[in-house]
Structure 1
Amino acid sequence: MAEPKSIPNEPMPLDMDNRDPNNLNDHVRVLFEDAFGEPEGSHSIPGVWSMSYKTFNGVKNCCYIVLSVLCGCPLAFCWALEFACVQCCHIWMVGPCIHIWKINVSCMKMFYSSCVHCLCDPCWEACGLCLSLIRVQNKNG
């Protein structure tokens, strides 16, 4: 009995720890230190700096969680539809059009190549014959 074939592009199991394995969104990673910095001579009191750190991270994380709960699944659904439509378009329209284009271009390439050879080859052969008669002699004087 034949073994069942595995699907070549089957998605990887969901990694709950590393959620951006291809580093797609490094550009939106914002830490407190990326947004705020107090130079020498302009330090707030430690309590303010510490509380600002906690406030920034708490609000950012809480807001992200609320927005992802409200928008994550609907947007994932919309993007899945978009990618499915693009995939379908490429498989059923773009791919065949490219194949037809390659077939037609190969015919044009043969025609163009024949024309160039018919027009240019006699000229290059004549130049080659004329230049082949040139002899260079070295006279040591």
Structure 2
Amino acid sequence: MAEPKSMNSEPMPLDMENRDPNNMNEHVRVLFEDAFGEPDGSHSIEGVWGMSFKTFNGVKNCCYIVLSVLCGCPMAFCWAMDFACVQCCHIWMVGPCVHMWKMNVSCLKMFWGSCVHCLCDPCFEACGLCFSLIRVQNKNG
């Protein structure tokens, strides 16, 4: 019998550089080049383009930092509670319910299998006997 995992197992160390190691949020990555592009023949003054780049990145980064400070911990708390509730529900309700369902369905499976065998096997055996008497001959005329 395998030993249960320790309740005190440490989670992976927090990587402060790569904060999306599973690329879960690649779809929300927005760079200046993703939002703006000036085609040939429609270029603004270099200073305007440069300041637009700095403004976009500065406002986006500053706004994200402010929103993260205001919402990050409360949202982490809410999501932790949600995941804990779902985990508890699966461990104490869904898992046992599925196990009980499988137990009951296995009895039904055996019953249904014997009914099908009792009803169909004689017919299939009779058909097999009838078809086994067929002989095919090739006559070249």
Equivalent residue, structure 2, for 1:42:
42
The one-letter code matched in structure 2 to 1:107 is C
Sort the Cα spacing of 1:97 and 1:6 in 2 relative to 1 into closer, same or farther, 3 A: closer
CA shift, 1:107, in A, is 0.7
For 1:104 and 1:9, the matched residues in 2 are separated by 36
Q: List gaps (5 residues or longer) in structure 1.
A: none
> What is the aligned-residue RMSD (CA, Å)?
1.6
1:81-138 CA-partner distances (Å, limit 9, x unpaired): 0000000000000000000010011011111111111111111000000001111223
SS at match of 1:130: helix
Alignment of 1:32 with 2:32, yes or no, is yes
Counterpart CA distance in 1 for 2:113 and 2:119 is 10
The one-character-per-residue Cα deviations of 1:26-54 (angstroms, maximum 9, x if unpaired) are 01000000000011111100000000000
- Residue 53 of structure 1 is matched in structure 2 by 53
Letter in 1 for 2:99: H
State how many pairs are aligned: 137
1:107-126 equivalences under 5 Å are 107-126=107-126
Relative to structure 1, the CA distance from residue 41 to residue 9 in structure 2 (aligned partners, 3 Å threshold; closer, same or farther) is farther
Question: What do the CA deviations read for 1:59-94 (whole angstroms, capped 9, x no partner)?
Answer: 000000011011111110110000000000000000
Q: Which amino acid aligns with 2:33?
A: E
Structure 2: stretches of 5+ with no match in the other structure: none
Determine whether 1:77 maps to 2:77.
yes
Query: Equivalents in 2 of 1:26, 1:9: separation in Å?
Result: 30
> How many Å separate the matches in 2 of 1:121 and 1:60?
72
- C-alpha distance in 1, partners of 2:132/2:116? 23
Structure 2 residue aligned with 1:62:
62
Whole-Å separation in 2 of the counterparts to 1:8 and 1:30: 39
Q: Distance in 2 between matches of 1:9 and 1:120?
A: 56
Amino acid at match of 2:101: W
TM-score (norm 1): 0.92
CA deviations over 1:6-42 (Å, ceiling 9, x no partner): 5697421100010000000001000000000011111
AA matched with 1:50: G
Per the normalisation by structure 2, the TM-score is 0.92
What amino acid is aligned across from residue 119 of structure 2 in structure 1? L
